[in-house]
Amino acid sequence: MSAIYQERRDDRRRALVAGSVGNLIEWYEFGVYGYFATVIAARFFTPEGGSEIEGLVKTYASFALAFFFRPVGAALFGRLGDRIGRRPVLVLVIALMTVATALIGALPTYAQVGALAPWLLTFLRVLQGLSAGGEFGGAVSVMTEFAPPGRRGLYGSWQSFTVALGLLAGAGAAALLATVLTPGQLSAWGWRLPFLMTLPLGLGALWLRLRLDETPAFRQEREEVTPPAGEVVRAIALGAGRIMGWAAAGYTFLVVLPSYLQSSLDASFQQALVATVLANLGFAVTIVPAGYLSDRVGRRAVMLTGAVLVVVLAVPLLDLLQDTGASNAAKGAAVLGAGAVVGLMAGPGPAMLSEMFPTRVRYTGLGLAYALSNAVFSGCAGLVITETVERTGNVDVPAYYAAATCAVSVLALLAPGTRRAR
């Protein structure tokens, strides 16, 4: 019995590591892209004499386009994952993500190849969007299907925790380069290094996934009856609504914040990165405890707490950041708290989505719910916020955006759910 228990425990550990490592790489890259948005705008989207704000808007448009290919990837890879297994599809998506990300670091700029440069970058972003769409559903399926009874919230929270680790790693890489390189060096070639670093990281993730076993639930899924299409579609829509606030507030506070602080509040690149690191630290600290707590008191209770807090606190938070009389300590505490509140939604989120779908359609269903919500409310966050602030001059737009989406999530979380899947 002890040998069997040890074998199962080893399988669960491998599932946690192999499932979450791809997510770490994905969000590391998306974080790096967001943190270097102003540099990328200048190198790829701003011809000589062009407007800096116009270049930034185009950069976020490319960012958003990648997100809109996530649902395509979720449907394509999710269908494969529900038919042939989680493991082979997760191997495929990590390989695609690694190659596309590393190639961004080798792209020629607008000054070198003209208008071809933004198109090449956008093409690679599309490939990233496809692979990212196939990543979440498979990874969460693996982690929650290997989880022991009563531990899905804890196991699933590690998927969200690696979002924080990825964003922190991206912020750390950006902050390190901004410290050791001159602004000229950073703009000329330093921005390439974080993207190229994805290659060894991806090879390590690929090795881990090749050693992963198929999940017990998938091996037994032929015993299940495929649910009606209408039930699956309803679950996808409801799941997307429930994580809408997590998607929008998360990207607003954790990724868009650096460019917003620089373009709207005249913060330096270093100041913006420090604020982002603090927000991501707060995010990381609460994710796993929130997932653990959701195993005790329920997913909805924990996620509702986070969503309601964003609705109440988003505007006061931004007002504090804009207050020139406020101390740096107070502003730091504010962004730390903002990240922590998002973590309350992100911790239970993966397990909640997993439990909304039976095994036969889980990879596809939860992947589509997550991808659709992120495509609309994360991918468009930078574009919507930057463009709206530019047109209206209202610097409170990020707070309104985060609060409004979290208000919708409150309603979705209060709505009757689907049956709990095994």
* DSSP assignments along 104-126, one per residue: HTT---HHHHTTHHHHHHHHHHH
Domain spanning 7-210+227-414: which CATH class is it, in words?
mainly alpha
249-273: b (≥16 Cβ within 10 Å) or e = bbbbbbbbbbbbbbbbeebebebbb
- Alpha carbons within 13 angstroms on the beta-carbon side of residue 97 total 34
Q: What is the pLDDT of residues 318-343, one digit of tens each?
A: 888 878 787 878 888 888 999 999 99
d(CA 209, CA 232): 28
Least confident span in 72-76, 244-248, 397-401, 415-419: 415-419
Q: Is the per-residue pLDDT at 3 higher than 60?
A: no
d(CA 86, CA 112): 42
Element (H, E) at 12: helix 2-35
d(CA 80, CA 40): 34
Average pLDDT, the chain: 85
What is residue 259's predicted lDDT score, i.e. its pLDDT?
66
Residue 208 CB partners (closer than 8 Å, separation 6+):
14, 17, 18, 21
Q: Is the per-residue pLDDT at 420 higher than 60?
A: no
Q: Is the per-residue pLDDT at 247 higher than 60?
A: yes
The confidence band for 31, taking pLDDT boundaries of 50, 70 and 90, is: confident
Least confident span in 38-42, 254-258, 332-336, 383-387: 254-258
Element (H, E) at 180: helix 152-180
What is residue 286's predicted lDDT score, i.e. its pLDDT?
95
pLDDT above 70 covers a percentage of the chain that reads 90
Helices within 181-268 (DSSP H only): 183-185, 192-196, 198-210, 216-220, 229-242, 244-251, 257-265
Q: Is the per-residue pLDDT at 49 higher than 80?
A: no
What is residue 287's predicted lDDT score, i.e. its pLDDT?
95
What is residue 346's predicted lDDT score, i.e. its pLDDT?
94
For the chain, the domains span 7-210+227-414
The confidence band for 308, taking pLDDT boundaries of 50, 70 and 90, is: very high
Mean pLDDT of all residues in 99-104: 92
Residue 13 CB partners (closer than 8 Å, separation 6+):
none
